Each structure stands twice: as C-alpha cells, then as structure tokens.
Structure 1
Amino acid sequence: MIETQSKWDRLIFRGIVALLIFSPLAFGSVHVWAYCLMEVAVFSLLILFFTDRLLLSKSPALTWVRTPVNLWLILLLLLIGFQMLPLPSSWIAFVSPRTFADKRLLSEMISPSHAPGWMCLTYYRHASLMEFLKMAAYAGMFFLVLNTVRTKQQTRVLMYVLIGLGIFEAMYALAQIFSETPRVWWWKSRAGTGGFASGTFIGSNHFAFYMEMMLGLSFGLVIAHRGRQKRLTPGLSGFRVLVQRVVAWFSPESDQTRQILFSFVTILMGVAILLSASRGGILSAGMAIFLVSILLFTKSRCRGFGVLALGLCLVALIWGSRMGIQPARMGIQPAVEKFSHTEGLGQRLSITQTLLSMISDYPLLGVGWGNFRYLYPRYMTKEGEGVFFSGYSHNDWAEAGAEAGLAGMLFIIAVFAAYLITMIRIWQKRRSPYALGIGAGVMIGMISIGIHSFFDFSMHIPANPLTLSVLMATGYLVLHRTGTAYQESFFYQVRTLPLTLWPRIGLMCLCLFILGGGIFGVVRHFRAEVHCPTEWNSTMNLNWNPYLTDIEKAIAHNPGNAEYHARLAEYYMGKQISDKTLRERYNEKATESLKTAIHLNPGQGTYWYELGENCASKRYAPYPYLNQWLPLADHCFEISIRCAPNDVNIISKVAKYWVRRSTMLPETKDMLSGDASFSREQGIQKFQRLFQHALRIRPNLWEWAVIQVWEYYPDADILTEIVPPRDGEMEGLVLQWLENKMN
C-alpha cells in the first residue's frame, strides 16, 4: 500500500483533470501555445509531487507504483537523451557510420580547417529536444495518475470526464456535418468543409483516433454496469411482475439505467468515428473490438457482451464494404466517398516501404527523435510526395524505427506489449464487473490506436498520447483495485527508496534541475516563437514576415533553432540595397546565418540550396567569385539535391542555375582555372539530366524548362535533350514549341 492521499495529491489531481479537458479542446494541442502550456503544467505538477514526497511528507521513504512499462519508458527517454548528447566523433563513426560521414562532409564544406571532435547522433538537436519534452510530459502524466489517484471515486471522475469530453466531441462533430460553414471554434474547418467530422481537432483522422479511445471506454462502462438491480418481490404474477421489473430497472440500486445510458453513448461515439470517414479509425476500432470480444468469450459472465462486440464489428465491416448504406439519405455521402478512395493508402504504403531503406541506413539508434521530416526527403519517392506534406510518415511505428532505430522501436513495442500482457493476465483473474469492463475498454482503446498508428501520425497530436497515458494509468489502477468504500485498496506492487535528510535534499535538487530545465526549455521555445513563428498555425494570423529585431530576439531566446538563422539570412538576402558596401555586408551576414543554420540542421536541403544561391550572388569580387564562391555554390547545390533527390522545386532551380553556370565554363577542362572539374559540355549535360529528372516527376513544368534553356542555348539539339527518354508526348510538345518559336 502507498501512503494515503495528501492535499497536494488532490491539487495535482485537479491539475490532471484540467489538462485532460484542455488538451483536446485546444485544437488537439498541436500549436505552440497549447503544447507548451501542457508541458509546463505537467512539469510543474511533477515538481509539486516531488516537493510533497521529499520535503513535506513525513514518510521515511519515497514510494512509487511499479508497472511493467516503467523501465521501458525510462530507457526510451534515456535513448533520446543519448542521441542529443555530444560524443567523440570516433564513437559516432562506430555507432552510426552514415551520420558520421554526413557530419564530416558538413565540416569539410563549412570549415575545411576544423575537424569535428564531438558530434551528436541526432542530426537536428532542437527538433529532438522539442519532441523529447513532449514525450517526457506524456510519461510524467502517466506517472502522476498512477501515484496520486487513490480511490475508486477518483478513477470514476477521470473516466466520466473522458466520457463527457467524448460526448462533447461527438456532438460537436455532428454539428459540423450539418453546418453550412463547419468550424473548429473560430477557425473554418478544412475537414468539415469536405464533409468530414473533426470535432475540435484540425484533422478528421486525429479526431477519429481520439474517439477510438472514448469508444473503448464507453463500451467498457457498459460492461462495468451490468447485472446489479433490485431483487423482485416473490409471489407476484402477470402485469404486476412487468411493472415491478420496470421499476427495478430504474431504481437507485440498479445499474441498468447507467448501462442503457452508456450504450447510447457507445453508439454516439461509433457514429462520430464513422462520420470522420477515417478508414484507419473505422477498421482499427472494428479489429480491436473483435480481438477483445475473443477475450470476453473466455468469461462466462461476459459472453453476451462478446456477442455485442461482434455486432459492432459487423457494423464496421458493413460500413467498410458500403453494403446496405444509402449515404445520400443519411447525409454522409462525403464520408462514404472518402472511404472508397484508395489512392492515399497506396501513397502511405509507399512511404512505409521507403522507410525500410532509411532504417537500414541508421539501424541501431536512428536519425534522431523528431528528425524524420528533415532526413526523409532523401528517400522520398514520387508516390509519397502527396502524403509527406504533413512532415510525418503516416506510420508512427515505422517513423519511430527511423528516428530511434531498432533499439528505440524495441522499447516502444515493449511498452505496448508489456502493458497489454499484464492487463490481460490480471483481467483473467478478476471477477468484478467494474474491473472487467474498464479493463476491456482500455484494452480496446490500446489495441485500436496501436493498429491505427500503422496508417496515420495521430500520436504526434499531443492530446492523443496525453489522453492515452491517463487512460493506461486509470485502467491499470482499476484492475488492481479491490474492496469498497473504506475497505478499498490497491494490490499493485510499489518501489520503496528509504531516504534520510541529505539524500532527500539532493534528490529534490536533481528533480528541480531536470524539471526546471524542462520548463526553461519550453518557455524559451514559446517566447522565441512569439517573436518569429516557424511552426505552422492555420488558426491564427501570425506574422510570417517578422522584422529584423524580432528575428534577433528569437535567436537570443533559442539560438539552437536553425529556422531562425535561415529567416535571418532570408531577411538579409531579400533587402534591396543600392549602397554597394552595405549590400556586400548584408550578403556576408546572410552567408554566416546560412552556415549556422546548416551547422544546426545539416539534413535540410533547402538550407544548402539557399547557401548555394547566396554564394552564386557574390559577383562584387570577381576573383574570389570565380575561384571560391562559384565552386562552393556548385557543391552546395550538389548536396541540396543529395538531401532531397526528388524535390522538384530544388531540382528545377538547380537545373536553372546550371544553365547559366555552364556558360561560364571553359570549352575543355582547364586545370589552372577554378573550374577544373567541369567543362561546358559537362555543365550542359548536367542541367539536361536535372531537367529530365524534374520533368519525369512533374511533366507540366516542360514549358518553363524550355524557356530557361532557350534563353542561353537557342539550340534545338540541346533543348530536346531535356525531355525524359521515351516520352514521345512531351517531345512532341517541345518540337511544336520550337516550330512556333522559329515562325
């Protein structure tokens, strides 16, 4: 038994409830202001918890609940922290040769005379830190619920708050479906405009992900309130038996009314998921209910609910196959049409396949937590381009493997597997309808989101993992609770750490250092984003063209964010200055800012391209321009394409650069010139290959490409070579353009 609940625990519990309500209502907490507030609140509650346990409590030892996931969560957090830790370059070369090679190339390009002595495993430390703080907040919420909730009443409060939120989200979604201008609060919903329900979330898939947890919980509450009703008076017959049975159903001692209520709530949750038109959400919920129904059949008292669960699966199957549905009459035509389209699924599977190559290049510890969006363009194919605009892989499992390596993926799988195995093992031993129902409901939610995560990125929406952490902790507590009222207790295992005065003070200082550092990092990020926003927020009119002073303030608050330095370079490069000296000074400042951005995030191809553009514009000093800056620009453009080999914007711009650049090259290689590695013919072949690649991906750029080449090379033979091989249709268009031009 853990010590009884203190007043600080009750205060923490209120904070947990407030966060549980806030996170989904604030657009799923996807925006900077929302997730920063969430993280600061969780870290503050953790500080309050440890202050109570280490300084205010009279207990001689620090105790906490032991669960099968504690170790794996700690290992995952340590792994992410290890990725951000500067290590000797020889260690990086041993653990991740590809990372070492890339960062060594960066050093040779930016600072040829400076060999890197220390490196981080992660490519972009700022992105890893931001995602680490989120992960720490989710783990902290799980820890707080486990160690501050003490009674059945509190577990009920958490579940009823979740159910209340689910009802609100479902009703809000229904209002969106039947509204002429569907909105999420003040913002005009894009998903709602398409006819899909999204609740208070930005996307309908993220809303469905949240509702899957609510569906499982509401179905679990149906099971939890089974059976208990007022005993009938013997000796009655006929109509009086029926009357007495109806009265018994609605008596205060009966759970039948609550069961009926939660049955309707379950139907409402299911309808909300269907109206979201989330194919992954609908099928995942159906599969999860089917798997848990098998578990229900192992309990004789739950077999009826197993049959009910199979009925819900059948509904999902009918919906999926569109049998017997009349969408026009039901007002759900857009949802059915979306469900019938499979193009997006093919694109998502394409991304997953290319992720296997990414994992094989960084097998052990990955590219860095939160770094997928910066490294994936190296592997992106044409098929995946339409899905990757979100910056996520639409497969949270595979993305975790790419970011944290096989080791991190093992830890995440272990968290899910250890939790589910423990829950099933304890569930099989319990007889209480309440424990059986809540346990089954939590497992439905867990399995459903585990399946759905193969097809979406909803675990990157902070409200979802935060709610999941509360749901997991609550389910664990309910299954380990026994007794009633003053006799109730929990039979989970606890860890105990005896502490004297000075160890308490030392441990408290360590907690303040870690959690206070987390709060400092979050606040610093928020203050910087206020001055110079870099994270998209479609619900607010942010200043995407900040003043120089605002950019400098953002850098002062958070110098590790590469995007601020890129914005600073963009500001200097965009200024139209007539004074030659000032223009040169601005150009040099832009160069240094871009080098800093690349040093912080070497995997971002756009930074390399912009540095190449900057170097190619240094025409004010002819000798350095020809012998230093142009060769450096060539290398920067080459690396930009290596970072994003299928990015049409970069490829086409680099091809345009080589059209002009080739005119500066000698007819033959001149070993004495700065352009010793290229001849004009090689330069022409280079832009021809680049244009072929760009037009193969995006054929409608052919006329723009033809105009760029014709400006410098009005030669039909050179021009026709930019057409991809065996593309007769495009070749005909180019020849027709040439004919019109000649006439």
Structure 2
Amino acid sequence: MTRWRAYLLLLFVLPLPFGGYTDWAWPLYTAITSGLLLLELRLHTQNLTTLPVAFVRSRWLWVGLLLIQLWVAAQALWISSAHYDTWMYLFKGFGYAGFFMLTLLLVHSQNRIQQAIWTIVLAAAFQASYGSLMVLTGWEYGFFEAKWAYTGTATGTFVNRNHIAGYLEMALALGIGFLLAQSTVYRGSLRQRLRQAIQVLLSSKVILRLLLAIMVIALVMTRSRMGNTAFFASMMIAGALALVLMRHKSKSTTILLASLLVIDIAIVGTFFGVDKVAERLQNSSVDTESRDEVTRDSFLMWQQQPFRGIGAGSFQTTFPKYKSPDVVDSNVYNHTHNDYVQFLAEFGAPAFAVMLGVVLVSLWRAIRAMSVRRNELLKGAGFGATMGIIAIGIHSAVDFNLQIPANAYMFMFLLAMANIARWAEHGPRAHSSVQRTPKRAKHHVTHATTETPNP
C-alpha cells in the first residue's frame, strides 16, 4: 500500500517543477520510479506471486523499451559526440521505461484504475486552475517565481504554453474516458428517472465534468494552436471509433460525446478565447515560423547517420553543424519542433522503429478494448488511452512535448493504460494481482486468453 501511495503522489507532482524539466526534478523522478519498480519486482520474486496479466501480455513492449536503453548506452560509448548528454538521456530513458512497467504492475484492479485517473485529473485540474488564475489576475507566476515567457497565456507551472497544452490533452482524454464509463441509463417511470437524475447530480460524475470543463478552459487559454487542434481532433476521432466499436452503448454515451463538443467549443470557447486561438491559426505561415526549416535540417541530419543516429540527447550540440543559413542564427535550438524527426535523428531508424511499434501496438490494444471488453470502466480506459495517444501523436508533429519529462511520463501512463484496458481482469479476483502460492511452488505467471464476463 505504501508503494501505491508513493506512485499516486508521483503522478500528482510530475508536472509541478516546470514539467519536470529542471536538472533536479527528472533525476528524482527516475530514482523514485526505479526504486518502486525494484521493490515491486522483489515482492513478486520473493513471495512467488502472480504477475498481473497486463504486465505479462505486454512483455514484448517493455522488453523493447529496455532494449532501446541498451542501444542508448552503446551510443554513449561509441557514437555520440555529446557523451554526457547521452548518458543523462539513458538515465532519463530508464525512468520512462520503468514507469511503463511500474504502471502495468501496480494498476491491476478497477479500484486502482479509478484512483490513478482521479489523481491525474486532480493534478491537471490544479494546473488548469492555477494557470487560468494567473492570467485572469495578472500575477503571472509559474513555479514559485515570476514568469519570463508566455505572459498573458495559461502555462500553469510549466514554462511553455504548448507543453501544458500537451499535458492537458492527455489528462482530458483519460477524464473523458472515465466519464464515459459512468454513463447513466435512465429507466422506469418518470418518478424513477427523476430520482436517477438527482442521484447523478449528487455523484462524483458532476464533479468530474466540472473539472474537465476547467481543464478545457485552461487549454483554450493557453492559445496553443496545435494543442487545441489536437484535442478536438482526437476527441472526434476517438468518439467516432467509440460509436462504431462499442457494443451495447446507450443513448447517453452518444449524447455525452456530442455535448462535450458542443458545450466545450460553443460555450466555454466563446467566453474564454477560442477566437484568439483561431486567429493565431489564421495568422500562421511558413514566412513567420522557423519550425519547418529546423525540421527539414533535422531530417537531413538523420540522413547522414540513418542507422546509428547522432546519439540520444545530443541534438542541441549537433544541430548547429547542419543548420541552414535561412534558420535564425540568434536562436538556440534545444529541440526540433517535431518529436518524430528528433527521435529518428537521435536514435536512428531501427530504435525509432521499435519505439513506434510500442506506440502502435498499444494504440491498437486501446482500440480493441473499446470493442471487445464488456466492463464499462475498461472500455472507458480504452477510449481515454486511444484519445490521448492520438492527441499527443498529432501535437508531436509540430512540437517537442515528449522531450518534457512530465509529458513523457504521462505518455508512458497512456501506453500502459492501453494495455491494462485490453488485458486486465475484472472478475472477483481482479482486485489484487498478488496471490499467495505454496512456498515450494514454482514461480509462474497468469495468462488470460479469453474475456471474463462480468460477475
């Protein structure tokens, strides 16, 4: 239980110190994650306990993530020209891979799925409330110090408005999936339906919907063009998939999905500045942006070392050698505004293919969860993972959200949740992954190949 509480606390504090981007925050996250993972694995090894089904079913995914870390170690030794930066990225990468594994091990029951999602929603709602308050009051403070960039827009405790937008996209996706899992079917007489409506108004569902509205307000107030575009596009894509794939869906599910679009865009957006986001989109052009040129030069950089890459984490020191004359010389480019191209250039094609494979397999499993699972919570978790992966996938084409530790950890959570939604048990024994076995029994794992009906 102590490990679980520590995990939830980590989930909540991840975005607080500038999205974990500081030199002390992300090493702390890696150390905590590694410690919790080792303790959890030790428990299963010493007590000969049953591993969660989702962890076993996802073994090739976390093995792939660990192999990528071995590749980064090889880059640090023989390939990278920025050895220190690559070693640091290796340390960071072990934190990400470890968090993926830790989530699969710890989030093994419906109760824990709910607690984890509530923790993320509360953390995101805090970021949204704080960021909006700073804009509306004009105080403009970030994490215990005055903001030096992106004043007039919501940034929460992040530095960059686009990065809090990425965080909110993923948190909103999980929250909306959780809300769908609680859809209410009204039956019976008018009096019974009235009683059911009152029960809904007094339930946590209303609180959840209110928190999601606050998060949408903050997302609009970030004025992030692709952040808002990615959120609404991913909601429409995931919503369409849900309406097609979800079996036995109620009318309330369709109404809820439609209301999310109508209320959040037409009402919330009107009062909190969706018109300004639209104006930024209209005023965007290749003449006023240098992102296209940086992405182009980064792709050319990859073509020089297509197989082995330039070395994870070495973009900042290597890019100046490939920068074209039409790129602004006064700017220091820590990252290219395209996660796909930066990962490809730094890691090389084989390692990038493994990364992409982990993401696509997880996305497919999240979509399958919406189709084949009977449990409403697991279907909702599948929706949330689907929407979140699509959202950050769209946003990453023009930004570097996955270079921000808090967002990278959240993305690992989404990938893990996609596999949990697909494979987690939900019968009477699903409330604990730790099952005692005889002391002399051989270590074993559980393999579930068929869907267990609801009790």
TM range (shorter): 0.7 to 0.9
Indicate if the aligned counterparts of 1:173 and 1:199 stay in contact, CA closer than 8 A. yes
Please list, as runs of the form range in 1=range in 2, the aligned pairs for 1:550-561 lying within 5 A after superposition.
none
- 2:344 matched to 1:401? yes
Indicate if the aligned counterparts of 2:154 and 2:161 stay in contact, CA closer than 8 A. yes
CA-CA distance at 1:267 after TM superposition? 2.4
Using a 3 Å threshold, how does the CA distance of structure 1 residues 292 and 388 change in structure 2: closer, same or farther?
farther
Indicate if the aligned counterparts of 2:231 and 2:391 stay in contact, CA closer than 8 A. yes
Aligned residue for 1:374, secondary structure, equals helix
TM-score (norm 2): 0.85
1:481 to 397, 401, 424: 424
Please list, as runs of the form range in 1=range in 2, the aligned pairs for 1:631-710 lying within 5 A after superposition.
none
CA-CA distance at 1:399 after TM superposition? 0.4
Q: Match for residue 576 of structure 1?
A: none
Using a 3 Å threshold, how does the CA distance of structure 1 residues 75 and 274 change in structure 2: closer, same or farther?
same
Indicate if the aligned counterparts of 2:62 and 2:100 stay in contact, CA closer than 8 A. no
- 2:373 matched to 1:430? yes
CA-CA distance at 1:249 after TM superposition? 2.1
Identical-pair percentage: 24
Q: Match for residue 78 of structure 1?
A: 70
CA-CA distance at 1:343 after TM superposition? 4.8
1:440 to 383, 386, 395: 383
Indicate if the aligned counterparts of 1:366 and 1:405 stay in contact, CA closer than 8 A. yes
Using a 3 Å threshold, how does the CA distance of structure 1 residues 181 and 337 change in structure 2: closer, same or farther?
farther
- 2:221 matched to 1:275? yes
Indicate if the aligned counterparts of 2:220 and 2:274 stay in contact, CA closer than 8 A. no
Distance of 2:356 and 2:330 partners within structure 1:
25
- 2:403 matched to 1:460? yes
Using a 3 Å threshold, how does the CA distance of structure 1 residues 42 and 452 change in structure 2: closer, same or farther?
same
- Give the partner amino acid of 2:358: V
Distance of 1:13 and 1:374 partners within structure 2:
39
Using a 3 Å threshold, how does the CA distance of structure 1 residues 330 and 354 change in structure 2: closer, same or farther?
same
CA-CA distance at 1:480 after TM superposition? 2.8
Please list, as runs of the form range in 1=range in 2, the aligned pairs for 1:240-255 lying within 5 A after superposition.
241-242=190-191, 244-251=192-199
Q: Match for residue 293 of structure 2?
A: 350
Distance of 2:176 and 2:100 partners within structure 1:
22
Q: Match for residue 81 of structure 2?
A: 123
Distance of 2:265 and 2:273 partners within structure 1:
20
2:112 to 140, 151, 154: 154
- Give the partner amino acid of 1:176: M
- Give the partner amino acid of 1:21: F
Q: Match for residue 138 of structure 1?
A: 96
Q: Which moved more, 1:447-456 or 1:148-157?
A: 148-157
1:177 to 135, 155, 158: 135
Q: Match for residue 19 of structure 1?
A: 10
Unaligned segments of structure 2, at least 5 residues: 434-439, 444-455
Indicate if the aligned counterparts of 2:312 and 2:347 stay in contact, CA closer than 8 A. yes
Using a 3 Å threshold, how does the CA distance of structure 1 residues 69 and 303 change in structure 2: closer, same or farther?
farther
Indicate if the aligned counterparts of 2:178 and 2:377 stay in contact, CA closer than 8 A. yes
Distance of 2:307 and 2:275 partners within structure 1:
46
Please list, as runs of the form range in 1=range in 2, the aligned pairs for 1:187-586 lying within 5 A after superposition.
187-191=145-149, 193=151, 195-227=152-184, 232=188, 241-242=190-191, 244-251=192-199, 257-298=203-244, 299=246, 301=249, 305=253, 309=257, 330=272, 338-343=280-285, 346-385=289-328, 389-483=332-426, 486-488=428-430
Indicate if the aligned counterparts of 2:52 and 2:104 stay in contact, CA closer than 8 A. no
TM-score (norm 1): 0.53
- Give the partner amino acid of 2:197: W
Aligned residue for 1:183, secondary structure, equals coil
CA-CA distance at 1:476 after TM superposition? 2.6
Indicate if the aligned counterparts of 1:226 and 1:256 stay in contact, CA closer than 8 A. no
Aligned residue for 2:184, secondary structure, equals coil
Distance of 1:338 and 1:46 partners within structure 2:
44
- 2:129 matched to 1:166? no
Distance of 1:192 and 1:411 partners within structure 2:
35
Indicate if the aligned counterparts of 1:359 and 1:401 stay in contact, CA closer than 8 A. yes
CA-CA distance at 1:464 after TM superposition? 0.8
CA-CA distance at 1:386 after TM superposition? 7.2
RMSD (Å) for aligned C-alpha atoms? 3.3
Distance of 1:176 and 1:269 partners within structure 2:
14
Using a 3 Å threshold, how does the CA distance of structure 1 residues 38 and 61 change in structure 2: closer, same or farther?
closer
Q: Which moved more, 1:377-386 or 1:287-296?
A: 377-386
Q: Match for residue 672 of structure 1?
A: none
CA-CA distance at 1:76 after TM superposition? 1.7
CA-CA distance at 1:438 after TM superposition? 1.7
Q: Deviations over 1:129-154 (max 9, x none)?
A: 11111111011011112113332211
- Give the partner amino acid of 2:112: Q
- Give the partner amino acid of 2:348: G
Distance of 1:437 and 1:255 partners within structure 2:
20
- Give the partner amino acid of 2:334: G
Aligned residue for 2:156, secondary structure, equals coil
CA-CA distance at 1:455 after TM superposition? 0.8
Using a 3 Å threshold, how does the CA distance of structure 1 residues 267 and 42 change in structure 2: closer, same or farther?
same
- Give the partner amino acid of 1:361: Q
Indicate if the aligned counterparts of 1:348 and 1:387 stay in contact, CA closer than 8 A. no
Distance of 2:231 and 2:175 partners within structure 1:
13
- Give the partner amino acid of 1:57: N
Matched pairs, number? 432
Indicate if the aligned counterparts of 2:381 and 2:421 stay in contact, CA closer than 8 A. yes
Q: Deviations over 1:458-513 (max 9, x none)?
A: 111111111222233234324433445x443699xxxxxx9999xxxxxxxxxxxx
Using a 3 Å threshold, how does the CA distance of structure 1 residues 343 and 297 change in structure 2: closer, same or farther?
same
Indicate if the aligned counterparts of 2:183 and 2:253 stay in contact, CA closer than 8 A. no
CA-CA distance at 1:214 after TM superposition? 1.1
Aligned residue for 1:301, secondary structure, equals coil
CA-CA distance at 1:207 after TM superposition? 0.4
CA-CA distance at 1:452 after TM superposition? 0.6
Q: Deviations over 1:402-423 (max 9, x none)?
A: 1011112211211111111122
Distance of 1:61 and 1:409 partners within structure 2:
29
CA-CA distance at 1:281 after TM superposition? 0.6
Distance of 2:71 and 2:213 partners within structure 1:
42
CA-CA distance at 1:167 after TM superposition? 1.3
Distance of 1:156 and 1:255 partners within structure 2:
19
Distance of 1:37 and 1:61 partners within structure 2:
27
Unaligned segments of structure 1, at least 5 residues: 1-9, 86-119, 235-240, 492-497, 502-743
Indicate if the aligned counterparts of 1:278 and 1:339 stay in contact, CA closer than 8 A. no
CA-CA distance at 1:51 after TM superposition? 3.2
Distance of 2:145 and 2:282 partners within structure 1:
28
Q: Which moved more, 1:351-360 or 1:196-205?
A: 351-360
- 2:41 matched to 1:53? no
Indicate if the aligned counterparts of 1:152 and 1:478 stay in contact, CA closer than 8 A. no
Indicate if the aligned counterparts of 1:167 and 1:265 stay in contact, CA closer than 8 A. yes
Distance of 1:445 and 1:292 partners within structure 2:
9
CA-CA distance at 1:435 after TM superposition? 1.7
Indicate if the aligned counterparts of 2:179 and 2:208 stay in contact, CA closer than 8 A. yes
- Give the partner amino acid of 1:438: A
Indicate if the aligned counterparts of 1:352 and 1:395 stay in contact, CA closer than 8 A. yes
Of structures 1 and 2, the larger Rg is shown by 1
| Higher RCO structure (Cα 8 Å, ≥6 apart) | 2
Distance of 2:330 and 2:258 partners within structure 1:
33
Indicate if the aligned counterparts of 1:224 and 1:437 stay in contact, CA closer than 8 A. yes
Q: Deviations over 1:438-464 (max 9, x none)?
A: 210121111101111111111111111
Q: Match for residue 732 of structure 1?
A: none
Indicate if the aligned counterparts of 1:364 and 1:406 stay in contact, CA closer than 8 A. yes
CA-CA distance at 1:309 after TM superposition? 4.0
Using a 3 Å threshold, how does the CA distance of structure 1 residues 69 and 317 change in structure 2: closer, same or farther?
farther
